[in-house]
């Protein structure tokens, strides 16, 4: 970490050279590890883009580890500048000579700061956020993804001082998750090799060897291996901490420069941060736009005493790729009929955001850039014929398709023109009006490469599929009980999250269905429709709790069902499903408060020995900062965004909650796992596409 006095001195140097630098930019700083300067290191500034990186400048560190770089004028200002420090010797390594295994990194972004410290923490921050774009010391990838990666580095580390960044130490992160201790521990493991603790490099590189791959030969390669395979050798890597930095006799703590560090081995070495604000509260659906912004459907209003029985509807949230809220605090974006938006949020090519509403029973439209409403004040309600609206999609041809969970029907809006909208899937005397098209409490919706619409029936155990051009030719495909989320991979396979799944035996499934039906019949005539709906939510949650389970079904394009897959029990109450650029499957499990990655159909992208449906993540999945989760989405940098929906269900399911808990039903945070997935193109219009 660069001492504050040295920062001031370097700042003065920068000021004195500003006039002569004119259009050129000078970067001053120091390379150090654990406070020990590294002399003789070669520092190179590079410009990353979709093409091979361009070398901008090179310097060698002095005895005190300082360096100065001058970036020539005329560089592409849309690229990402990053620094690599190779070799050199740490101050404590007298007589050991330069360390060729020492490679450190700092990702600076399109507008690099004038002062930059390069150390173990900047290396960890840079390697994890850009894990999907690094190949050794080479950084390249899609422009949006590179910008997202660079923008998240300052959340983890202060590039000027090399110390901790403001987000990882804020109240949502430092005391609430293990990310801070994990970040410091990773920094210590890299530092041990850089400072040439005996056998540290050999042991680190052995533990950081990827599954079926070759051992790394430097610290940066080791870091990116761990970031891309965070569960591999997790306990072995943790064990190195005691080998490199044993607690001195008579002392309680390790003699290290970075605290706190981990006391217990992690299940994986993921790095994640928790974000909040912007009206985020009890998220339903979420999606990522073309710039990498994360949009959320906030079911309820921040600070409201919302329960299942009394809801105060909210609006929509928007977060920048670095987690900064872009929507108004408390309310989020409102207007245009927004009132407790549900599962549906999608983006059309004309910069519109399409959202569905639960309480409002409408469809709303916002301007993607400003958040201003484009739909009427009351939203699009189709003459009051809509109920609780859920999933929505924008088809490649510009049509909008959405489902009405409350009234068991489908809304089709050709070309995104609500005046041409039509309602489908209705029944008369139990018979479908539109040919064979019938849905039962539809929830999720997707479109495949053959222009077929897929809809999950949350009130049954089926998925409905039909040609978008001919909805009357529908077919039903049997999956698990209460399917919710659905996603299509690049090969046309549909992956379905069954909330209850397959409860062991047909007898149990029949019991579940009979119980729900009996409770519903008993309440008819004695309760309002709103109270019946509230109790149905409680019934569903009771079933999930009584029959802990839930699983994933895969349906091939020809309609064959594979699975169910449940990651050896790690998947419970799967609410959100997403697919990454490798066609691997990401599942947000609501009741186990975890995220699981499954190997998809392209098994060559999975660790050796795994087959389709096998878990890639550890036994408990990825954890940390997660509550009762709902949506999950992958961004162009390969980050997994997970929205927390519920927090205190005891309060939320009470008709008269305790006053102190009356505002705590809803969760209010988002968790982002950095660099864990193959990047995807956003927004999602049609099946997934690798970015």
**The predicted structure's pLDDT at residue 519:** 65
- Give 616's contacts (C-beta < 8 A, 6+ positions apart): 231, 584, 597, 598, 599, 606, 607, 610
**Residue 512: its H or E element:** helix 506-523
Distinct helix (H) and strand (E) counts, the chain: 10, 38
> For 254-282, how does the pLDDT look when each residue is reduced to its tens digit (9 = 90+)?
999 999 999 999 999 999 999 999 999 99
pLDDT band at 390 (very low <50, low <70, confident <90, very high): very high
**Could you tell me which residue, 500 or 210, shows the higher pLDDT?**
210
Mean pLDDT (whole number) for 436-465: 97
Across 316-325, 326-335, 652-661, least confident range? 652-661
Q: Would you say the C-alpha torsion 16, 82, 639, 338 has a positive or negative sign? A: positive
Does 489 score more than 90 pLDDT? Answer: yes
**Could you tell me which residue, 440 or 519, shows the higher pLDDT?**
440
Burial 272-293 (b: 16+ CB within 10 A, else e): bbbbbbbbbbbbbbbbbbeebb
Does 533 score more than 90 pLDDT? Answer: no
**Could you tell me which residue, 74 or 328, shows the higher pLDDT?**
328
The edge-to-edge listing of strands for the beta sheet with 561-565 is: 481-488, 494-501, 551-555, 561-565
Give the three-state DSSP class for 109: strand
Mean pLDDT (whole number) for 497-503: 88
> For 126-165, how does the pLDDT look when each residue is reduced to its tens digit (9 = 90+)?
999 999 999 999 999 999 999 999 999 999 999 999 999 9
- CA-angle at 162, arms to 158 and 166, nearest 5°: 25
Query: Per DSSP, which regions of 110-253 are E strands?
Result: 115-118, 134-135, 138-139
> For 651-666, how does the pLDDT look when each residue is reduced to its tens digit (9 = 90+)?
988 889 999 999 999 9
Tell me the CA distances in angstroms from 307 to 274, 304, 592, 667, one per residue in order: 24, 9, 22, 12
Q: Would you say the C-alpha torsion 292, 293, 298, 302 has a positive or negative sign? A: positive
**The predicted structure's pLDDT at residue 512:** 62
What are the φ and ψ backbone dihedral angles of 568, each rounded to 5 degrees?
60, 35
Residue among 375, 402, 374 nearest 388 (CA): 402
**The predicted structure's pLDDT at residue 16:** 39
Pick the CATH number of 273-503+547-673 from 3.90.650.10, 3.20.19.10, 2.130.10.10, 3.30.420.40: 2.130.10.10
Mean pLDDT (whole number) for 515-528: 68
Structure tokens at 20: 């002569």
Q: Do 253 and 196 touch, CB atoms closer than 8 A?
A: no
**Could you tell me which residue, 516 or 115, shows the higher pLDDT?**
115
Does 232 score more than 90 pLDDT? Answer: yes
Does 534 score more than 90 pLDDT? Answer: no
Mean pLDDT (whole number) for 237-243: 98
> For 79-99, how does the pLDDT look when each residue is reduced to its tens digit (9 = 90+)?
999 999 999 999 886 668 899
Length of the chain: 691
Mean pLDDT (whole number) for 615-626: 96
Residues facing residue 371 across a β-bridge: none
User: Which one-letter DSSP state was computed for residue 663?
Assistant: T
Instruction: Give the mean pLDDT of the chain.
Output: 92
Domain ranges of the chain: 1-269, 273-503+547-673
């Amino acid at each position: 970490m660069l001492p504050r006095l040295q920062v001031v001195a370097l700042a003065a140097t920068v000021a004195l050279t500003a006039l002569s630098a004119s259009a050129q930019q000078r970067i001053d700083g120091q390379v150090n590890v654990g406070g020990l300067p590294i002399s003789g290191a070669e520092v190179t500034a590079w410009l990353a883009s979709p093409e091979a990186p361009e070398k901008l400048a090179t310097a060698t560190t002095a005895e005190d580890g300082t360096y100065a770089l001058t970036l020539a004028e005329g560089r592409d200002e849309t690229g990402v500048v990053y620094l690599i420090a190779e070799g050199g010797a740490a101050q404590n390594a007298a007589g050991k000579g330069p360390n060729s295994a020492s490679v450190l990194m700092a990702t600076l972004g399109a507008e690099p700061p004038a002062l930059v410290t390069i150390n173990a923490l900047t290396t960890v921050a840079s390697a994890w956020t850009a894990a999907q774009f690094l190949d050794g010391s080479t950084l390249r990838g899609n422009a949006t993804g590179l910008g997202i990666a660079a923008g998240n580095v300052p959340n983890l580390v202060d590039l000027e001082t090399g110390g901790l960044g403001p987000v990882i130490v804020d109240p949502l992160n430092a005391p609430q998750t293990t990310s801070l201790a994990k970040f410091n521990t990773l920094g210590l493991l890299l530092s041990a090799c850089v400072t040439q603790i005996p056998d540290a490099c050999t042991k680190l590189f052995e533990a950081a060897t990827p599954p079926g791959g070759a051992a790394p030969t430097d610290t940066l390669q080791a870091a990116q291996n761990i970031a891309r395979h965070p569960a591999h050798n997790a306990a072995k890597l943790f064990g190195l901490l005691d080998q490199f930095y044993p607690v001195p006799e008579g002392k309680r703590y390790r003699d290290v420069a970075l605290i706190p560090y981990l006391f217990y081995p992690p299940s994986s070495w993921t790095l994640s941060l928790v974000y909040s604000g912007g009206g985020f509260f009890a998220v339903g659906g979420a999606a990522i736009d073309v710039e990498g912004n994360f949009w959320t459907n906030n079911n309820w209003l921040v600070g409201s005493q919302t329960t299942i029985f009394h809801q105060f509807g909210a609006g929509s949230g928007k977060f920048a790729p670095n987690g900064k809220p872009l929507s108004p605090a408390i309310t989020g974006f409102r207007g245009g009929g927004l009132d407790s938006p549900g599962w549906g949020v999608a983006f059309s090519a004309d910069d519109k955001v399409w959202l569905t509403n639960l309480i409002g029973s409408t469809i709303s439209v916002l301007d993607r850039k400003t958040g201003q409403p484009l739909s009427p004040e009351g939203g699009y309600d189709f003459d009051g014929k809509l109920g609780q609206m859920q999933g929505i999609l924008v088809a490649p041809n510009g049509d909008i398709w959405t489902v009405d969970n409350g009234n068991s029907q489908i809304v089709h809006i050709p070309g995104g023109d609500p005046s041409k909208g039509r309602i489908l899937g209705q029944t008369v005397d139990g018979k479908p009006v539109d040919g064979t098209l019938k849905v039962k409490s539809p929830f999720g919706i997707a479109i495949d490469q053959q222009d077929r619409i897929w809809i999950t029936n949350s009130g049954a155990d089926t998925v409905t599929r039909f040609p978008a051009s001919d909805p009357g030719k529908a077919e039903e495909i049997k999956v698990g009980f209460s399917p919710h989320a659905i996603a299509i991979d690049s090969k046309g396979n549909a992956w379905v999250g069954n909330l209850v799944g397959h409860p062991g035996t047909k007898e149990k499934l029949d019991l579940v269905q009979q119980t729900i039906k009996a409770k519903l019949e008993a309440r008819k005539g004695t309760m309002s429709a709103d109270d019946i709906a509230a109790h149905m939510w409680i019934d569903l949650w009771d079933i999930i709790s009584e029959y802990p389970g839930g699983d994933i079904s895969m349906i091939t394009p020809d309609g064959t069902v594979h699975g169910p897959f449940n990651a050896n029990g790690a998947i419970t109450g799967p609410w959100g499903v997403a697919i990454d650029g490798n066609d691997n499957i990401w599942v947000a499990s609501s009741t186990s408060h975890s995220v699981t990655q499954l190997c998809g159909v392209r098994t060559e992208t999975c660790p050796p020995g795994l087959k389709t449906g096998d878990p890639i993540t550890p036994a408990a999945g990825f954890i940390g900062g997660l509550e009762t989760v709902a949506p999950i989405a992958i961004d162009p940098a390969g980050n997994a965004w997970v929205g927390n929906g519920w927090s205190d269900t005891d309060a939320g399911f009470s008709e008269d909650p305790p006053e102190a808990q009356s505002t705590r039903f809803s969760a209010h945070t988002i968790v982002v796992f950095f660099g864990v997935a193959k990047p995807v193109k956003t927004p999602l219009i049609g099946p997934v596409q690798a970015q």
